[in-house]
Amino acid sequence: MIVVFGSINLDLIFSLPHIPRSGETVLGPSTRIEPGGKGANQAVAAARDGARVAMVGSVGRDALADGALVLLRGAGVDLTRVQAVGANTGCAAISVDPSGENAIAVGSGANLSTHADQAEDALLGPDTTLVLQMEVPAEASAALIRRARVAGSRVVLNLAPASALPEDALRAVDVLVVNETEGGWLAADLRCGASAVELSDRLGGLSVVLTRGSEGADIASRDGAWHEPAVAIQPVDTTAAGDCFVGVLAHRLDLGASLQAAVRRATAAAALCCMRPGSQGSIPTVAETDAFVAG
């Protein structure tokens, strides 16, 4: 099964003629309100791809919480380990331009109250794939990674947004997913090159997936290195593409697929996600991805 330890937000999405620059106000025709958060998005992506998923996170005791959880519930994600706390539910303001590119500001709120003890030991084990991002406290993520390693779980870490983790926790990860910005930040922090191969070598040979948007992804592991090309599409909104990629990747690995096969499936799902507006609502179902792959 998939256990996602991460953020749960409500997203305010603004369609704008261009991303605002410093000091600039930009008027757009519309605003959408959708559930989001990297953790929740990845949980929905895995569940819609057919996985059994448990979400570990936090929301506020406020009017935003139900909206933030609605698509997780709809996807059948187990929410028994989502706690309600006194802080506000996390909220993100997302600006999207006509090319589908975005800029995001996040008020973390309740996500900062998420802690590793919300995931009990029985949840971790050889049959579990643990998925993490960096929108909850880093020390909590590091603690859970260490516990998962001892328990024999597979660990997939999306180092997004780029944030510091102790090197022993990084080395306990099975698959590290970063984009070019995050990979560059991590390379500077580790004082190594920013390619997938160099990051993998520096971290003891763990598998690294370096996503490059429309240029596809570079992958390095103990089995070698290769490039996975992107699917040629006309993007509408890239907001949830990275999270869709991670959730589907984790599910396919959990099913026993090779890293290469899992990356290929995740690439197709993320491409389909980009062809729709929105965040969680744009993530495809397993049937939709199957049809897209079949052509």
**Which residues are identified as catalytic?**
243
One-letter-per-residue 3-state SS of the chain: CEEEECCCEEEEEEECCCCCCCCCCCCCCEEEEEEECHHHHHHHHHHHCCCCEEEEEEEECCCCHHHHHHHHHHCCCEEEEEEEECCCCEEEEEEECCCCCEEEEEECHHHHHCCHHHCCHHHCCCCCEEEECCCCCHHHHHHHHHHHHHHCCEEEEECCCCCCCCHHHHHCCCEEEEEHHHHHHHHHHHCCCCCHHHHHHHCCCCEEEEECHHHCEEEEECCEEEEECCCCCCCCCCCCHHHHHHHHHHHHHHCCCCHHHHHHHHHHHHHHHHCCCCCHHHCCCHHHHHHHHHC
**Residue 132 CB coordination number (10 Å):** 30
Q: Give the residue among 101, 102, 85, 84 at the shortest CA–CA distance from 93.
A: 102
Q: Give the residue among 175, 213, 214 at the shortest CA–CA distance from 196.
A: 175
Asked, as a colleague might, if the bond just before 161 is cis with ω within 30 of 0, I would say yes
Question: Is residue 53 within 8 Å of 43, Cβ to Cβ?
Answer: yes
Cα 26 to Cα 174: distance, rounded to the nearest angstrom: 42
